[in-house]
Amino acid sequence: MKTDGPASAPPRSGPGTSFRWKTPPEDNGCRLDRIVSVHLRMDAAQAAALVDFGSVYVAGRIEQNPSRTLSGGEEITVSIPAYGPHKFFELDPGRILFRDRHLLAYDKEAGIPSQQTPFDAYNNVYAALLRFLSRKTRKAYAALHHRLDKDTSGVMLFALDRSVNATLGRSFRDGHVSKEYLALAEGSPAADSWTTDREIGKTGGRYCAVPAGRGKKARTSFRVLHRERDFTVVLARPATGRTHQIRIHLAAEGHPIVGDRAYGAKPAPRLYLHALRLSLKHPALGSELAVEAPVPADWPWR
């Protein structure tokens, strides 16, 4: 292993800082945390903490074992979290909305990712759920069948038994799961109800509404529930599940979600989008199941 200085600059504290390099043949037999330590000029404890935190990938796969021995020739990627390898999120049992032996529904907090990010495998709902379940069973299991954006709050549903995965997966894929969201939209839409069919695609690396034939089909129905001077409370029912669908469709109508700066809204304390209700047939019992998450206390309208 070379020790005559790093191949890249020391890590900065800003978000999105990442480093990628290929280990030389002489790194054969070296520990991963030692290689990260030398390459990024940090002490061994810091390097080991980053590996354990889920910030290090080897050959494109997350590696959380600091003592893993490398062979040389592997591509290493390190993504530095702006807040450091700080473990701050755990599941709140009081936010569990439904649980039986097959399923668990959770009221996700705004600002917490649904699953791991490239720089953090700890502070997310899925990882926290596995830790929560492991307190009572050595064989904790949960499967993630849908996701909410980091800044969206509300209902998330997990499978707790492998036997329901196929049925539950088909329900989501075939549109047999009804989803309802609350959104605070800027301004006042002209109609009290409407449906948007704008296709969604990528332009310049970001999702947006695109002309017909240039993206994926998407449909969302909207209904006004309440109007204030500066915003309107809207109930959204997406018939498809495209990335950022509700956010994009409201922005395309000229009424972005309050706090959604990515799609043209003014700054606000949070993104005011909430997964209110999820309805489906229970994948094991066949009975109708509806789970609702209360409107967050920090909303200006409840």
Q: For residue 73, what are its two tokens?
A: 């020739």
d(CA 44, CA 66): 10
d(CA 198, CA 81): 35
The set of residues, in sequence order, having a beta carbon less than 8 Å from that of 295 and lying 6+ positions away, is 182, 274, 276, 301, 302
Local confidence pLDDT in tens for the 302 residues of the chain: 433 333 333 333 334 589 999 999 999 999 999 999 999 999 999 999 999 999 999 999 999 999 999 999 999 999 999 888 999 999 999 999 999 999 999 999 999 999 999 999 999 999 999 999 999 888 899 999 999 999 999 999 999 999 999 999 999 999 999 999 999 999 999 999 999 999 999 998 899 999 999 999 999 999 999 999 999 999 999 999 999 999 999 999 999 999 999 999 999 999 999 999 999 999 999 999 999 999 999 999 77
pTM tops 0.85: yes
**Spatial contact of 76 and 21, defined as CB atoms under 8 Å apart:** yes
Residues 113, 238, 216, 105: is their CA dihedral positive or negative?
Answer: positive
The set of residues, in sequence order, having a beta carbon less than 8 Å from that of 39 and lying 6+ positions away, is 6, 7, 8, 19, 21, 76
Q: For residue 105, what are its two tokens?
A: 């529904």
Does domain 17-80 bear CATH number 3.80.10.10? no
Q: For residue 190, what are its two tokens?
A: 């002209």
- The amino acid that residue 162 corresponds to is R
Q: Could you count the other beta carbons within 10 Å of the beta carbon of residue 111?
A: 13
The CATH number of 177-271, from 1.10.3720.10, 3.30.499.10, 3.30.2350.10, 3.30.70.1350, is: 3.30.2350.10
d(CA 108, CA 103): 15
User: Would the CATH topology of 17-80 be identical to that of 177-271?
Assistant: no
Q: In this predicted model, what pLDDT tens digit does every residue of 114-145 receive, in sequence order?
A: 999 999 999 999 999 999 999 988 889 999 99
The set of residues, in sequence order, having a beta carbon less than 8 Å from that of 169 and lying 6+ positions away, is 145
Catalytic residue among 52, 149, 151, 260: 149
The set of residues, in sequence order, having a beta carbon less than 8 Å from that of 291 and lying 6+ positions away, is 97, 98, 105, 155, 157, 277, 278, 279
Domain residue ranges in the chain: 17-80, 177-271
d(CA 232, CA 191): 11
Q: In this predicted model, what pLDDT tens digit does every residue of 17-41 receive, in sequence order?
A: 899 999 999 999 999 999 999 999 9
Q: List the beta bridge partners of residue 80.
A: 17
Residues 180, 186, 189, 192: is their CA dihedral positive or negative?
Answer: positive
Mark whether 151 is an active-site residue. no
